[in-house]
Structure 1
Amino acid sequence: MRAQLSVLAVLFAAASPAAASEQIADQYPQSVLYQKPVEVIPYVWSAIGATAPPTYENSGHNNNLSFLVTGEGVIVINAGACAQLAEALHEEIKLVTDEPVRMVINENGQGHAMLGNSYWAEQQVPILAQVAAAEEFEAHGADILARMQDYNRDKAEGTSVQGPTETFEDEKVIEMGRFRVEVKNLGPAHAPGDIVVWLPDVSLVISGDMAFHERLLPIFDETDTAAWLESWEAFEALEATYVIPGHGHPTNMHQVRRYTRDYLVHLRGEIRTLIDAGGSLKEAYYVDQSPFAHLDTFEQLATRNAGRVFEQMEWE
């Protein structure tokens, strides 16, 4: 346990913007995975993805693929952006344990959460997602697959559109071996069907895209930032000691609050000031976001985020 805590301390020390990896194309060239899985706390593992957009070099592994070794089977969180990533993660799991994978949980309806489902379905593993995530993937799965095929080329081979085999509305509780696993929909956040995986006995949350910290969070047309801030209150109420975010290294609640909640509050405040002064959408692109300019993907997302928040807040 002492050695494990030392590993965790190193990870948490690395969990700062300085450790972000947008400029590093691949940290595990022996595998299509971006990084080899690490044991965050005992029996909880995560393969940390790139904090850059999906590319051929990172194989679309730009989110975190986690798994729990329960003693009675393995639970995987996120299927990955393609079948080859799912298979690579499975091979890493086999190096850790001989327990079979008994469930896969999709954190939302995005490609890097669900496209690997096709591999897991072939292994006859049940796949769980929130209802809205399943509906999102059913409606847009073909387009999501096509976009992945465009950047991943030969690495997309073997991937097909496969939704979850089971859905839930608000909460699904799984009692398996050493873990009580609470899969929760806390309300609207980054994308339709966002969930968190809460392990109350060890005070660890796999937050999915509820929480960001090493890369700037993206705001989509369908992202309701006001509702996200309301959902955040339920997320904070978990009082988690450890946070494995959807993107970036394992960290703590303070860090994700600073770069998720505080970013949303800051951006909405800047846009509200602009709207109250009679400002335009064109001016919104230039509001001050400098406190967050050091985050990965800032250049790709900051102006886009500002424009989308302006368009939303005009009608609030």
Structure 2
Amino acid sequence: MAKAFASQGDMSEKQISFTEVGDGLWAFTAEGDPNSGVIIGDDSVMIVEAQATPRLAHKVIENVREVTDKPITHLVLTHYHAVRVLGASAFGASQIIMSEKARAMVAERGQEDWDSEFQRFPRLFEGHESIPGLTWPTTTFHGRMSVYLGKRRVDIMQMGRAHTAGDIVIYVPDQNVMFTGDIVEYKSACYCGDGHFHDWPGTLEAIRRWDLDAIAPGRGDALVGREMVNEALDLTGDFVRSTYAPVARVALRGGSLKEAWDAVRAECDPKFADYAIYEHCLPFNVARAYDEALDIDTPRIWTAERDRKMWEDLQG
């Protein structure tokens, strides 16, 4: 019998940090667990990313209430993954914003993704009984939109495919700060199981051209200062390229998924083995890279059954 996924054994509590990344802008981070962001406007608050359950969302709310008593009116979800969106009900926001593509992915694969992630991440789904169902946006857009929190303008944009096909970023121009979701990580492995390896580096460079003063990434520490911002962009790009290239070489010569797994381990373990959730992500990253190398553009839907079958194949 195949051993369990690394994420199934990750039951240790993570240390939460709440870091100011600009005036009225905060990053909620937790040692490689999914981050959330906070944007405080004149009269109200926007949250970026909802966490996996209402229980985890309340940890974000507790930190928000330490810095403001303004009502939470807007919730922006950078993509459709269950660990990012299923805590939405806790915030009571009147507006829930996603890209049109992300909403389509909820419709196409939202339940399957929930079932898959539920079996992979038992700790993140503690208190799952309080999830009322799939999270659906009230507002969608294509390309770009702006929200005004009083006089504070927040730009919500699609910069390109990366972590998923529906990724968005949230930019606060008065502070030159961006919330990137899982397009950018800091010393945490990228989950590429629904990603687009060919597009991801270009999307990172599109973000770099904004010459940002700070980034709240999808996972890992808040990135304050341009040196740290550029380091994170470099590390994320290196992770994506280092994962894809060895898999592509194996796939294009007709090698097996297990051979691709071994090739990635040889390339990536020396550089990234100490990254948060590295072992959690690796099997899914290899499987998606293998598919993309064979010209499967749309990531195949992960289901609990597919997860187990892939893991058994990799274990031989």
- Could you state the TM-score of these two structures normalised by the residue count of structure 2? 0.77
Equivalents in 2 of 1:149, 1:92: separation in Å? Answer: 26
Match of 2:210 in 1: 238
Equivalents in 2 of 1:197, 1:71: separation in Å? Answer: 18
Match of 2:239 in 1: 263
Amino acid at match of 1:126: Q
1:80-99 aligned at under 5 Å gives the runs: 80-99=51-70
Alpha-carbon distance, 1:149 to partner: 6.1
Equivalents in 1 of 2:245, 2:113: separation in Å? Answer: 33
Residues 44 and 69 in structure 1, CA contact (< 8 A), matched pair in contact too: yes
Amino acid at match of 1:25: S
Residues 148 and 156 in structure 1, CA contact (< 8 A), matched pair in contact too: no
Identity of aligned residues (%): 21
Residues 247 and 261 in structure 2, CA contact (< 8 A), matched pair in contact too: no
Alpha-carbon distance, 1:46 to partner: 2.0
Match of 2:278 in 1: 298
Residues 24 and 41 in structure 2, CA contact (< 8 A), matched pair in contact too: yes
Q: Residue 143 and residue 309 in structure 1: after superposition, are their counterparts in 2 closer, same or farther (change >3 A)?
A: closer
Amino acid at match of 1:68: I
Amino acid at match of 2:244: R
Quick one: which of 50, 54, 60 aligns to 1:79? 50
Give per-residue Cα distances to partners, 1:142-165, cap 9 Å, x unaligned.
344455666367612321123111
Quick one: which of 144, 150, 155 aligns to 1:182? 155
Amino acid at match of 2:294: E
- Bigger share in strand: 2
Is the counterpart of residue 172 in structure 1 residue 145 in structure 2?
yes
Residues 26 and 35 in structure 1, CA contact (< 8 A), matched pair in contact too: no
Is the counterpart of residue 134 in structure 1 residue 103 in structure 2?
yes
Equivalents in 2 of 1:145, 1:264: separation in Å? Answer: 24
Q: Residue 307 and residue 91 in structure 1: after superposition, are their counterparts in 2 closer, same or farther (change >3 A)?
A: closer
**Structure 1: gaps (5+ residues):** 1-21, 28-33, 52-61
Equivalents in 2 of 1:116, 1:300: separation in Å? Answer: 21
The number of residue pairs the alignment matches comes to 276
Equivalents in 2 of 1:305, 1:234: separation in Å? Answer: 23
Amino acid at match of 1:261: G
Q: Residue 135 and residue 198 in structure 1: after superposition, are their counterparts in 2 closer, same or farther (change >3 A)?
A: same
**Structure 2: gaps (5+ residues):** 1-8, 297-316
Match of 1:8 in 2: none
Match of 1:43 in 2: 24
1:195-234 aligned at under 5 Å gives the runs: 195-220=168-193, 222-234=194-206
Match of 1:115 in 2: 86
Alpha-carbon distance, 1:308 to partner: 2.9
Could you say what secondary structure the match of 2:80 adopts?
coil
Residues 216 and 259 in structure 1, CA contact (< 8 A), matched pair in contact too: no
- Could you state the TM-score of these two structures normalised by the residue count of structure 1? 0.77
Could you say what secondary structure the match of 1:90 adopts?
helix
Residues 81 and 148 in structure 1, CA contact (< 8 A), matched pair in contact too: no
Alpha-carbon distance, 1:181 to partner: 1.1
Amino acid at match of 1:128: I
Equivalents in 2 of 1:310, 1:69: separation in Å? Answer: 42
Q: Residue 25 and residue 281 in structure 1: after superposition, are their counterparts in 2 closer, same or farther (change >3 A)?
A: closer
